[in-house]
Amino acid sequence: MKKPIDVFNFAVLSCFLVLFFTIGADNKGYSKNPEERMAPFPVVETGDSVITPPEGVHPFYKKYINADGVVIVSSENVPDSALRAARRTVLFISSKRPDVLQAMRKHNPRISIMAVNENASDLPEFGPRSDGEWGLGQMPGSPTTLVSVKGICFPENKDYFANALLHEFVHMIHNLGMPEVEPEVLDEIYTAYLSAVKKGLFTAPKDEPLEGITPFDAYGDDEYFTHAVNAWYDLNESWPGPWMDVKIGEKGPPSGTKAQLKEQDPAIFEIISRFFPEYDPSIFRDCKLSTH
């Protein structure tokens, strides 16, 4: 684990945004057919009700809810309240820029929630090499986002460790929506990222160059951006391992607060203000770190 430099020094796991996820067949015998893995799930209106998935959803998933085109699914082992909380968070986070959410829909956005007693390879989209992950964000050409139920704010969550849902949905917005509506914002974020690294506010991944790379192909700036959004919402949370330098049971340094973000990194603060709504206590009031 790297020694923290400052509020935004972040030990970045390369596999977080090398999100080709190990989508190969897993050890539970799910289909090896790429067409089945990549087939979009049907989108049906649910309101705030968790329903039995419609025909066309993989049989592993027993629960389904729709967040304005973002399909959220889980096995029977995830409580309904977690799916409803995930829907509220998605609708809130995307509320300032409906154009971004509209652009995301062409990529069939989906969030697959992993239960406390499940590994990533229990889900049909992931292989055993993804076991141990708390979250993986959907990229163009991949079928879904992985989020641990431990990383969703809802009252019954006694094992909450950090807002995995926020983190991964920000990745989805950054990679599925923003390039469609404001392609230049990727360069803006990357420029802010380089500046933050040079000022010691954030630590770049040691296996990725800072120069000569296309911003869309980079992942250090993706983690920097999600970390900054965490600060925007005053969560000041640390992301748990496994990371490149953070092992299981350890955590990276916390993101900091909105006031610190505004003072130390005004460039990324301004970008976030264009895309994300202000803090809403009704969304984040149940984000309470576990003490065990």
Of the pLDDT bands very low, low, confident and very high (cuts 50, 70, 90), residue 196 is very high
State mean pLDDT over 201-208: 84
Residue 243 has pLDDT above 70, yes or no: no
pLDDT of 248 reads 53
Token reading at 1: 């684990």
* Mean pLDDT in residue range 127-155: 92
pLDDT band for position 33 (50/70/90)?
low
Q: Per residue in 85-112, is it b (16+ CB within 10 Å) or e — as a string?
A: bbbbbbebbbeebeebbebbeebbbbbb
Distance CA 152, CA 62 (A): 19
- Tell me: pLDDT of 32 over 90: no
- Region 137-166: mean pLDDT is 94
* Predicted pLDDT of residue 28: 42
Whether the per-residue pLDDT at 34 is higher than 70: the answer is no
More confident residue, 130 or 170: 170
Q: How far apart are CA 231 and CA 132, in angstroms?
A: 25
The secondary structure of 1-15 as a DSSP string is -PPP-STT-----HH
Q: Poorest-confidence range of 5-9, 26-30, 119-123, 273-277?
A: 5-9
State pLDDT tens for residues 95-111. 999 999 999 999 999 99
Supply the DSSP symbol for 174: I
Q: Which residues contact 236 (CB under 8 A, 6 or more apart)?
A: 230, 254, 255, 256, 257
CATH topology of domain 14-284: Collagenase (Catalytic Domain) (3.40.390)
Model confidence at 9, in pLDDT bands (50, 70, 90)? Answer: very low
Cα 22 to the center of its chain, rounded Å: 17
pLDDT at 249: 59
pLDDT digits (tens, 9 = 90+) for 149-161: 999 999 999 999 8
Angle at CA 213, nearest 5°, toward 107 and 15?
55
Task: Considering only residues 99 and 289, tell me which one the structure prediction assigns the higher pLDDT.
Answer: 99
| Percent of the chain predicted with pLDDT > 90 | 68
Q: How far is CA 21 from CA 129, 130, 175, in A?
A: 8, 7, 15
| Least confidently predicted of 11-25, 44-58, 183-197, 239-253 | 11-25
> Which residues fall within 8 angstroms of residue 278, CB to CB, at 6 or more apart?
none
Q: pLDDT-derived band of residue 245, with 50, 70 and 90 as boundaries?
A: low
pLDDT of 14 above 70: no
Mean pLDDT score of the chain: 86
Q: By percentage, how much of the chain surpasses pLDDT 70? A: 83
Q: Give the pLDDT of residue 242.
A: 46
Question: In the chain, how long is the greatest CA-to-CA distance?
Answer: 52
68 burial via Cβ count (<10 Å: 0-12, 13-18, 19+): middle
How much is the pLDDT for 16?
A: 39
Mean pLDDT of the region 117-136: 91
